[in-house]
Every structure is written in C-alpha cells, then in structure tokens.
Structure 1
Amino acid sequence: MKRIVQRHAHLEGARDVFVVEALAKELNPEWVRDVLRECDRESIRERLLPATLVVWLVILLGLFRRESYFNLLEKVDGALWTFQHWPKGPPTTRALTKARDRLGVEPMKKLHERAAREWVKRHSGLLFQGRRVYACDGSTYKTPDTDKNARAFGRPGASRGRAAYPQMRAVTLTDVGTRIRVAERHGPYGTGEIHLARRLLPEIPPGSLVLFDRNFLAYDLLWDLHRSGSDFVVRVKEGVRPRLVRRIGPGDAIVEIDIPRQPYRKQRPDMPRTWRLRMITYRPEGSSETFRIFTTLLDLEVPSNELAQLYHNRWEEESATDELKTHLCDGSTVNRAVVFRSKTPERVEQEWYGLLLAQNAVHATMDTAAATHQKSPRRLSFTSALERVREAVYEMSRLPTHLLFRPYRAMLKKILRATVPLRPNRKNPRCVRIKMSKYPLKENRHVA
C-alpha cells in the first residue's frame, strides 16, 4: 500500500523542497531560502533533515508546542515530501537536535525580521490620525531548568530558596490592528525592559504611534522615539507632577515636565531641560482608578476622549503575550508553565523566533480571512484559528499541489465562523485565584 501511495505522490509531483502548505501563502518559502543563503546555512549535501526542512520544523515546534520531537516527526512523516525523502521512516529525535544546532539562531532571527516587514506592508493595521498604531511591552518567559540556561538567562528572586526556572526577558512591538509581533529584543532576566526598548527603537517605522505602559516612562527613550519621527501615548506614573501651561478642556491640558540632569541630561546633553506634552486625565467607565496619559499629539483638533480610548488598545499587546504563553504554548494561568522546551540558550533563542513566526503566521492568516469579508481580524478568535491552522497543516501536507486550494479556502471559512466581541474597556486586576502551594519546595534531586 505504501508503494502505491509513493508512486501516486511521484506521479502528482512530490515537492522538491519541504514547505508547510497551510502557511506558505503568508510565509513565503522564498524568504526561507533567502535567509539560509544570506546566513550561509544552505544544505550542500543531501540530508534527511536539510536546512529548509529544519526551519519549517522549528516553526512547527512552536505551532505544535504540546508535541514532542518524536510526535512532531511522526506527524510530518506522510507528507508528500517525506514519502520521497524518508523511505525508511522519520529520522531520530537526536538527529533533529543536531540539525537545529547546525541551523543556529541567525536564520530564524532574520526570517522573523523579513516576514514581519513583509506582513506590515501586506496587512492593514489600525490607523489613528494617519499614523499606524503599535503597542510596546515586556514580559518574561520560563526556560527549562538547566545549568546552561541558568548561566545565560539568570533567575528571579524567590521568597523560598531560589526561583524554579531560569527566565528570558523580552520586549516586543506589536501591530495593534493585527497583533502581529513586528519586532523584539530579548536578553537575560536581569536586563531591564527600558534597556531592551531602547534597542528596539530602530525597528519602529517613522510616522508611527506607539502605546506604552507607565513602566516605559523613560524620557530619553521617548525623546529618541519622537526625534525619529514617531509619536507616543504613555501612561503617567503617580509621582510625576508636571506644570500646567494651558488648559484645553476638562481633563485636557498642555503641561511642561522637567527632565532631570541625572540620569538623563548628564549622559545626553542633546536633551532639553524641559519638555511640553499634552496630558489627558480621565477615569474609565466602571473603574475607580484615575488615568493620566502623556502624548506628543499636541493637535487640539484630536479630541481627548479619542486619545483616552486609543490608549486602551495597548491591551492588544497583552493579549498577544497571553496567546503565546497560554494558547500557543498550552500554558496555564495557575502553574505558569515553562514556555520553552530547549535545554541550551542557543536553542531557546532559536525556539523563540519559531514561536513568534508561528504566532505571526496564524495572525496573518486571520487577517487574510477577515479581509475576504471586510471584517476586523480582532473580531476573530485566535484559539479557534490556531486549531484550524493546525488541522490544515496536517491535511494539506498530504495533498498534491493542484488540490491545495479547496482545503485552504475551507480553513479561511472556518476561521471566519469563530467571532469574538471587541473589548474596548477591558480591565484585568493583578490578582490570582491560587496564591501559593502548601507543599514543600522541590529540589533538583528530591528524595521522598
């Protein structure tokens, strides 16, 4: 029977290069070949795991986070490409580990950057006063507890002993309209979010509007962003006391802030002593908390209530982080599971880009589906789209090229059926259902 299927695959034209057909419209296979060529990682001799296949497998490791190496290779086995190139069955998990090490981090990093640039051009985002809106925020991601990961990433403090897992810190720039992670910078746990955000600035397109949480109220960061041709909306910390220059309306004013000599002007003599910004003060409906936001949008024709509503689109960045941790990685809000499976820092970084590419590809597919019916992609369910993409990856890999259109269109239609409401005034208090465990701390080698 297998010979018949193999012969059929040959007659139908088996793929010369491995491709994940369900994602190929959004993640162009030519981009994969380009970055491999640029990084000098193209496979010269014929292998069971050529470099192009390994790139796709790293993305699939993110898309199918719950699957082990073994199960993922078994899932790939049976695709038209593997019938031709794996006559004795899939390679071992050890072979996949070695292939990942040959590939390295750089091709995945460059592929993420290339794909993000193309997706921003191709997919329409949220515009405000002619500016494309992005949100910037940081988060931490647990890695497996190995000595190498601990040395590379470090651990947070803990009230009992040491923290269970090393953690990587990352700051991401997310396109608000599509939730595509446009750019990122990451480092050890001890690296501050402001430092990572400064490194992210060159990736922000001029003419953008960036939404920040109050943790990013660093004047040099915001000054450099504004000088690059972009604007921002940032929440103001409680201790900041600006001087009133001119009142525009209720809760709306032009204010002046002093930029301290330390730590800013001493290192940055190009920065001014004072800075005039617009400050909007408001209380969201149903909330007892008063918000203050600074913005460089000084145009008085822009209503303050629209700016206040705009700021809460920052939740799209929070939602994108939740999608990656909770849904893509099958984590839980209770046990806050380990995001990565890799046991060395280089593989963790490689896996990080695979996760971002997988998440972005799902969002790009959602936007393509939404565009067919003039819907907002934010009205579509990510969890449903993720499952539909996973199903299509398996189904389409076993079909000849001329039969791929129908299951692809079916996938888009199914994605369109799962809609969610817009949540403009979303709130999420920082509290948990389970505070802590009553059990003793588990050591690396625990004896009962």
Structure 2
Amino acid sequence: MTLRVQILKDKFSQSLGLPFKELLPESLIKQTISDLKIKYKKRLFDPTITLWAFLSQILDSDKSCHNAVSKIIAHLAEEDVEIPSTDTSAYCQARLRLPENLLEKLFYSSAKSLEEKVTTEHSWCGRNVLVIDGSTVSMPDTVENQKEYPQPSSQKPGCGFPMAKIGVIFSLVAGVAIALCLDVMNTHDIKLARRLYSFLKPNDVLLGDRAFCAYADMVTIKKLDCDAVFRKHQSRTTTMRKGKIVGDCDKLVTWYKPRSCPKGLSKDEFDALPPSITVREIYYYIVIPGFRTQRVSLITTLLEKATYSTLAIVGLYGQRWDVELDLRHLKTTLGMDILRCKTPSMVRKEIYVFLLAYNLLRSLMWDAGTTYTTPPLRLSLQGTRQHLINFIPKLLAATSTKRLRIYRTLLKVIAHKAVPDRPARNEPRVRKRRPKIYPLMTKPRHELRKQLQTA
C-alpha cells in the first residue's frame, strides 16, 4: 500500500505538481492537514492522492469518477504493483471523507499565494481592486439537495433541479477567486456580499454593480478602511442639481440614513449607522450602438478628485465586466454550471475544488504572462487548460532536468497567443442552433412513466 501511494504521489507531483509547485505543493497539503488535526488511515486514497485525483477530474473535460479511477490505474499499470479495482466506490468514499474545511483552506491559500505575486506596478492608482458578483449553480435532483437548496418556486415539484446562489470576489488584476459564500437560490446578492466583506483588506477597492449600492454597505466598507465603486441603485432619484460640483458630471453628495431599517439588517446594526455620509457621484453616457444602457451613474467613496480622476473611475468601472467573464470561465469553461454531486456536503466540496482548479490555472496564466511579457488577463483560460492537459503525459515521461524545460515550453505556448482586447464589442443575444423538438417536462418522471405504461 505504501509503495502504491508513493508511486501515485510521484506521478501527480511530476504532472500536476510542477505547474502548480508554488500554489499547491504536497508540503502545503500536509501542513494544512496537520493544522486541522485531520486523522486518516493508511489507504491508497489518502487525502493527498484523493485531492489530486479530484483536481485532475475537475480539469478534465470528462469529469466522471470512472475516468478519475482509470487515471489512477494507468499510473500504476507500468509499475510492478497491484492495481486497484476499476470500481469507483473506494474513490467516491475517499472524496466523501475529505473534510470540507480542508478544501476551503486550500482554496484560500491558493488565492493568497497568487495575490502576493501582484506588485504595485499592476495596481490601479496604487490600490488593489476586487470585483464582486453573484451567480447560480445547478445540481442533481436528490432529496438531500432539494432540502438544502430547493429548486425555484416557479417550477413544478419533480420537474426542476436544486439551485444554489453563490457570491464570489475576484481580483481584478490577476483574475483569481478570493472568497466564496453559498446560500439558497432566492438569497439577494447584497446578503451574500455582507458575508464576504470580512475578506477585504485595508486599502482595497471593491467594484460591483447596482445590487450592492446601499447606504449600510458604503458605511461598512469605509469602516474597513476600504473604498467602493458601485453603480447607483435604480431606486435612488438624486439629481445632478444637488451636491458640490467637483468636475464635469462629477459631484460630492450627502446621503442620509434611511428612516426605517432595511431588510437584512438587525435593529442594532441599523442603530449603529451614522446619520449621513458623503459620497461621490459620477455620471456618463454610452453612445455605442447596440448597448442597452445609455446613462450610467456611479457612486464611490473615493472622494479625492486629484488622486482619483473622473476618467480613471469611469475606466475602472468599465472593467467590472471582467467579473462576468471570470464567472463564465468557472461555469462554462470548467463546467461548474451543472454540478454532479448528490449531497449538499459534496456539492460544497465540488465547488471548492472547482475554485481551486480555477485559481491554479490563473497561476499558470500569471507565470506565463509575466515570464513572456504578455498581460495575464489577455491569455485564454480554456487554452491554458487544454495545453496543461496535453503536456501532462510529457511531464510524466520526462526526467527531472528535461521536465523543467518542458514546463518552460508550456508557459511559452500559453503566452503565445493573447486574446484580443475588443472594447465596445456587441453581439445579438440569440441562438442559431435549434434545440431538440422534445417538449419540456411538466410532470414528475414517475407520473410520465405511468402514462407510458397505460397508453
């Protein structure tokens, strides 16, 4: 057993370990296991092997457990050792034994490691900018998942899938996921955001859309010695005729504490709010054909116009769309949109491994971009994943000296072709390929089966 485990560790460290040597070395996994005081028996699928197999499963286009076990067997097939069974039960039980807080801590460690690589030359006006947004994920229709993450109320029982709401903070410069929270489908974005503010560090700037622009949140962010740039919520009706003008389409305005306690705040939190705050309001027009939005009003706590010019803030908000692309990479490119696990606990573990895999790919893109002087955010995440998967067999077969040269080649091909920056690009939101003509499910499956039997 010990020999087989060591063989697998060597195989994974040669293939996955080298590209991710700084963010997810075996020493970090062991240290985290030790810090969390996790006890485990000597099995083939120990926490390290299970995590690496889980990670390679997420990175692969075929995310089945059978494919993951097949890789394990293939790694051991060329050695003179007993190969494990092709049955996926042992691997699935090993994933079940992985503590959720282990994956959570490794995810946060990967984010911190990559953030530390970002220097002031990459920052915005000397500040670190984070972007926040919310999205949804779907999961298998099981009793456990339905109980914890119910399907939308608009869907009939038995005809929908459990869905969860996620809130994520990304680094604007590196594109790495910093923090995550998870709740039921009908949770408002701002409720998720208030659980994520604890991940902000002093001097950070938080960028978000109008869903996060609330009086209490502006106050909270300022108390953390951070600043915010949000689009003004549509319910606010302030006009540019009020306030102190500091520039063209730019003024300082006073916001007053709401008269009644908003939903989501306790009475004590509401009573602790100051009677008023001063914010900066900037508005501008978009005259690009095809864009739905024609006028944008921004609210920010960055009050010093000499340090943060109007154009700089407008340009910064223009980059907020990057968070939509980051979420698309997670959900579409990596496949997190539809999860595979059948219990809430495993669903959360799966999400953390997706985020960990995403951060590891971002670290490869960062290394490739900084090594070959290409902006890391202009590199293709899908291309990075494809190159990594194709290079893994070569990394496995190479000697230690040759392996480093292959790794440098991997970075070079990742940085070879940058995705063009296409501002103001717009496309009609339509689908050309027609779906199948089968009707939508309007009754639970067991009722439809009875109809077939009686027909």
TM-score (norm 1): 0.88
Cα shift readout 1:322-359 (whole Å, capped 9, x = no counterpart): 00111111x8xxxxxx5211011111111101000101
Q: C-alpha distance in 1, partners of 2:202/2:142?
A: 41
Higher RCO (Cα < 8 Å, 6 or more apart)? 1
> 2:428 & 2:245 partners in 1: Cα distance?
32
Correspondence for 2:300 among 295, 311, 333? 295
Matches for 1:164-313 after TM superposition, within 5 Å = 164-242=160-238, 244-264=242-262, 266-267=267-268, 268-286=270-288, 287=291, 289-301=294-306, 302-313=308-319
SS in 1 for 2:355: helix
* Counterparts in 2 of 1:262 and 1:101: CA distance versus 1, 3 Å: same
Distance 1:269 1:440, change over 3 A: closer
1:441 is aligned to 441
CA contact (8 A) 1:41 1:51 kept: no
Partner of 1:322: 328
What's the CA shift for 1:273?
A: 2.1
Structure 2 distance, partners of 1:432, 1:368, is 36
SS at match of 1:141: strand
Query: Within 5 A, what are the aligned runs for 1:30-69?
Result: 30-45=27-42, 47-69=43-65
Deviation at 1:294, TM superposition (A): 0.3
The aligned counterpart of 2:87 is 92
Equivalent-residue separation in structure 1 for 2:79 and 2:37 (angstroms): 26
CA shift in 2, pair 1:428/1:308, >3 Å: farther
Distance in structure 2 (CA, Å) of the matches to 1:135 and 1:339? 23
> How far is the alpha carbon of 1:233 from its aligned partner?
0.3
Q: CA deviation at 1:379?
A: 1.4
Amino acid at match of 2:24: L
Classify 1:184/1:430 alpha carbon distance in 2 versus 1 (closer, same or farther; 3 Å): farther
Separation (CA, whole Å) in 2 of partners of 1:296 and 1:209 = 9
CA contact (8 A) 1:157 1:163 kept: no
Give the root-mean-square deviation of aligned CA atoms. 2.8
Measure the CA separation in 2 of the matches of 1:432 and 1:157: 27
**Matched residue, 2:106:** 111
1:254-308 superposed Cα distances (whole Å, 9 cap, x missing partner): 1122220322595422212222111110113404510000001111112212211
Residue 432 and residue 291 in structure 1: after superposition, are their counterparts in 2 closer, same or farther (change >3 A)? farther
**SS at the partner of 1:254?**
strand
Same amino acid, percent of matched pairs: 24
The yes-or-no answer on 1:101 pairing with 2:96 is yes
Corresponding residue SS for 1:314 = helix
Q: 1:137 deviation in Å?
A: 0.3
Residues 1:17 and 1:385: Cα distance change in structure 2 (over 3 Å): closer
**Secondary structure of 1:122's match?**
coil
User: How has the CA–CA distance of structure 1 residues 153 and 207 changed in structure 2, closer, same or farther, with 3 Å as cutoff?
Assistant: same
8 Å CA contact retained: 1:77, 1:89:
yes
Counterpart-to-counterpart distance in 2, 1:201 and 1:49: 37
Task: Give the number of aligned pairs.
Answer: 429
What code does the residue aligned with 1:185 have? C
- Label 1:219 to 1:339 Cα distance change in 2 as closer, same or farther (>3 A): same
SS of the equivalent of 1:77 reads helix
> Per the alignment, do residues 248 and 229 of structure 1 end up closer, same or farther by CA in structure 2, a change over 3 Å counting?
same
1:112/1:159 CA distance change after superposition, 3 Å: closer
SS in 1 for 2:167: strand
Counterparts of 1:104 and 1:229, CA distance in 2:
34
Asked if the contact 1:184–1:200 (Cα under 8 Å) also holds between the matched residues in 2, the reply is yes
Structure 2: 5+ residue stretches without partners: none
After the TM superposition, which of the residue ranges 351-360 and 24-33 deviates more from structure 2? 24-33
| Deviates most, 283-292 or 408-417 | 283-292
Instruction: After superposition, give the CA deviation of every residue in 1:76-122 in whole Å (9 maximum; x if it has no partner).
Output: 4333x775696224553111111011113111011101121111112
**Alignment partners' CA distance in 1, 2:278 and 2:129:** 22
Cα distance in structure 1, aligned partners of 2:92 and 2:250: 57
Q: Do the aligned residues in 2 keep the contact of 1:384 with 1:418 (CA within 8 Å)?
A: no
